[in-house]
């Protein structure tokens, strides 16, 4: 068993073929105004040349507070994050991707007491051109926002108590997408002691537009199906909460609307049926969704109208 302490933060980064991102993250950490951190990089079976660069780089920049873990086969980012948590020496965890940026006070701002978890809700979004803007923020019933597929914080916005993170089961490795969303839903349901902090911006999250080549529609729909099935089987949501969950059906619609292959409709139809079967929508809502798909397929409604109709009724 690894001995843990609470005087610092374990920063965990899953890595796959992004050596330049790793160097950039390292630069950010070297500039921290607090030395109470460790960095655990879990390489997910990168290409041999990238792995060689990575190993050489950390041999040349060796430090007691940097750990490099090399997977011996390709896994997923969620598995890598869970592996990183198992290697953590501190009781406070942050998951940071290699394409994101933190300011010099990122660690010191998180040197606080953490019961279950703390959300630093204010961060900026970086687009592909390097422009940044404030991320969407919200106040109120945070669980409800996530239930209706409004993602009001990102993975790195959360500072975890390691024991709580392990207690609730860590990242769900069965999900191919929406892993951080599912974890936030689970944490909000199971925690009785978390905080949301209205903080200064010290984290910059890189975002990319929807790209169905990188995230095919079938992967999105399968993840949505798994998510709502899991919630149906494990959580007792009331009727109001269940009514919110169709926002994830609209997520499927958004990806499908950008697909050049209308044969992808079969995946959306399957998701629509799952929502009905799991009692997240009425038969009338199910039939209406089928009707919109049919009208779109035979080109009686435009792509724009198809999206607007689904947004109105399901988002």
Neighbours of 312 (CB within 10 A): 9
Distance (Å, whole) CA 195 – CA 182: 18
Query: Look-up: residue for tokens 């035979």?
Result: 298
Distance (Å, whole) CA 37 – CA 92: 10
Band of residue 213 on the pLDDT scale cut at 50, 70, 90? low
Sorted by where each begins, the domain ranges of the chain are 5-206, 217-314
Residue 130 reports pLDDT greater than 80: no
Residue 15 reports pLDDT greater than 90: yes
Range name among 119-128, 129-138, 161-170 with the lowest pLDDT average: 129-138
pLDDT tens readout for residues 52-88: 999 999 999 999 999 999 999 999 999 999 999 999 9
pLDDT tens readout for residues 17-60: 999 999 999 999 999 999 999 999 999 999 999 999 999 999 99
Q: What pLDDT, on a 0 to 100 scale, did the predictor assign at position 214? A: 73
Q: What pLDDT, on a 0 to 100 scale, did the predictor assign at position 154? A: 92
Neighbours of 251 (CB within 10 A): 24
Query: Look-up: residue for tokens 């950010």?
Result: 28
pLDDT tens readout for residues 241-260: 999 999 999 999 999 998 88
Beta-bridge partners for 159: 118
Band of residue 210 on the pLDDT scale cut at 50, 70, 90? low
Band of residue 135 on the pLDDT scale cut at 50, 70, 90? confident
Residue 170 neighbours by CB under 8 Å, 6+ apart: 81, 82, 85
pLDDT tens readout for residues 136-158: 778 889 999 999 999 999 999 99
Residue 274 reports pLDDT greater than 50: yes
Could you write out the three-class secondary structure of 119-141?
A: EECCCEEECCCCCEEECCCCCCC
Distance (Å, whole) CA 19 – CA 39: 15
Q: State mean pLDDT over 169-198.
A: 96
Q: What pLDDT, on a 0 to 100 scale, did the predictor assign at position 17? A: 96
If one compares 203 and 207, the residue with the highest pLDDT of the two is: 203
Q: What pLDDT, on a 0 to 100 scale, did the predictor assign at position 262? A: 86
Band of residue 212 on the pLDDT scale cut at 50, 70, 90? low
pTM above 0.85, yes or no: yes
CATH topology of domain 5-206: Spore Coat Polysaccharide Biosynthesis Protein SpsA; Chain A (3.90.550)
Q: State mean pLDDT over 88-103.
A: 96
Crossing angle between the packed helical segments 19-30 and 48-60, to the nearest 10 degrees: 20
Distance (Å, whole) CA 148 – CA 246: 7
Q: What pLDDT, on a 0 to 100 scale, did the predictor assign at position 137? A: 77
Could you write out the three-class secondary structure of the chain?
A: CCCCEEEEEEEEEEECCCHHHHHHHHHHHHCCCCCCEEEEEEECCCCHHHHHHHHHHHHHCCCCCEEEEECCCCCCHHHHHHHHHHCCCEEEEEECCCCCEECCCHHHHCCCCCCCEEEECCCEEECCCCCEEECCCCCCCHHHHHHCCCCCCCHHHEEEEHHHHHHCCCCCCCCCCCHHHHHHHHHHHHCCCEEEECCCCCEEEECCCCCCCCCCHHHHHHHHHHHHHHHHHHCCCCHHHHHHCCHHHHHHHHHHHCCCCHHHHHHHHHHHHHHHHCCCCCHHHHHHHHHHHHHHHCCCCCHHHHHHHHHHHHC
Distance (Å, whole) CA 277 – CA 74: 34
Shortest CA distance to 12 belongs to which of 121, 90, 105, 97? Answer: 97
């Amino acid at each position: 068993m690894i001995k843990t302490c609470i005087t610092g933060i374990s920063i965990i980064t899953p890595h796959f073929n992004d050596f330049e991102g790793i160097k950039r993250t390292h630069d950010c950490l070297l500039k921290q105004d607090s030395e109470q951190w460790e960095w655990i990089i879990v390489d997910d079976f990168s290409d041999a040349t990238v792995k060689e660069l990575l190993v050489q780089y950390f041999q040349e920049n060796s430090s007691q507070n940097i750990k490099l873990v090399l997977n011996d086969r390709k896994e997923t980012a969620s598995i890598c994050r869970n592996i990183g948590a198992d290697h953590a020496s501190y009781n406070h965890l942050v998951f940071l991707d290699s394409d994101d940026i933190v300011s010099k006070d990122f660690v010191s701002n998180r040197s606080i007491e953490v019961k279950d978890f703390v959300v630093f809700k204010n961060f900026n979004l970086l687009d592909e051109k390097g422009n940044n803007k404030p991320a969407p923020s919200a106040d109120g019933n945070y669980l409800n926002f996530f239930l209706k597929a409004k993602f009001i914080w990102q993975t790195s916005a959360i500072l975890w108590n390691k024991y709580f993170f392990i207690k609730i089961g860590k990242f769900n490795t069965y999900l191919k997408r929406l892993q951080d969303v599912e974890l936030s839903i689970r944490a909000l349901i199971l925690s009785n002691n978390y905080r949301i902090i209205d903080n200064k911006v010290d984290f910059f999250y890189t975002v990319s537009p929807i790209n169905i080549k990188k995230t095919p529609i079938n992967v999105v729909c399968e993840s949505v199906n798994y998510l709502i099935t899991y919630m149906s089987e494990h959580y007792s949501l009331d009727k109001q909460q269940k009514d919110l969950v169709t926002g994830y059906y609209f997520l499927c619609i958004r990806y499908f609307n950008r697909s050049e292959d209308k044969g992808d409709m079969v995946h959306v139809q399957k998701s629509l049926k799952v929502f009905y079967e799991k009692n997240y929508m009425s038969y009338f809502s199910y039939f209406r969704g089928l009707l919109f798909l049919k009208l779109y397929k035979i080109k009686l409604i435009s792509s724009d109208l198809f999206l607007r109709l689904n947004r109105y009724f399901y988002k």
